[in-house]
Amino acid sequence: MWDYEILGVWLKDNDLEPEVFPKPLIAKIPMKIPFISGESWWNQKELIKSIYTQQFIIDHEKFRNTNWFKYKISRNPKDFIARYSSSIMSSADLGKKEEEIEKLGLEFFRECIVREELERALVFAGKYFKKQRSLEVCVSLCNKLNLGTIAEKINEILSVSDFSK
């Protein structure tokens, strides 16, 4: 949720516009805006776009970590090439980022289920999720929503695939 305050001029009962010379009363109205409302297709599209963008960044950081991390440790900070390896994410930070992306993926899966786009949810679960724990959460969500056939298909994906925990 994002917290905002809307500022506006408080008009008197019969006024059509605020008074010019006396200082008009200003009202602050607190307002909360949800990050993902699930109300429109646009939100779902933006969510999948952010998932794939962040996944691309993570893949690039993994490449940098495997190829350049050894130079980060041995390079002198005054070296002009040190800036290439100074911003490399550690393995722990990469793991945290991957967990955040998995959470976004679970949110997308939940939205597909809520919108009754079951085929799309299954395709997404089969192609995207890289951790067994995420698919187990999908199965429990489907069981809670009385979608036994979807839960069985995801269990088939779990039994066939080899996932890293």
In this predicted model, which residue has the larger pLDDT, 3 or 40? 3
The closest alpha carbon to 93, from 68, 71, 130, 61, belongs to 61
Region 37-57 average pLDDT? 73
Residues 46 and 116 in one domain: yes
| Residue at 20 is within a domain | yes
Task: Please give the pLDDT value at position 126.
Answer: 81
pTM: 0.61
Residues 23 and 62 in one domain: no
Residues 45 and 15 in one domain: no
Does the pLDDT of residue 38 top 60, yes or no? no
Task: Please give the pLDDT value at position 110.
Answer: 86
Region 77-99 average pLDDT? 77
Distance CA(105)–CA(139), nearest Å, equals 14
- Number of domains, the chain: 2
Task: Please give the pLDDT value at position 144.
Answer: 87
Going by pLDDT thresholds of 50, 70 and 90, the confidence category of residue 1 is very low
Residues 74 and 122 in one domain: yes
Parent domain of 80: 41-126
- The single-letter code of the amino acid at 75 is R
Residues 55 and 72 in one domain: yes
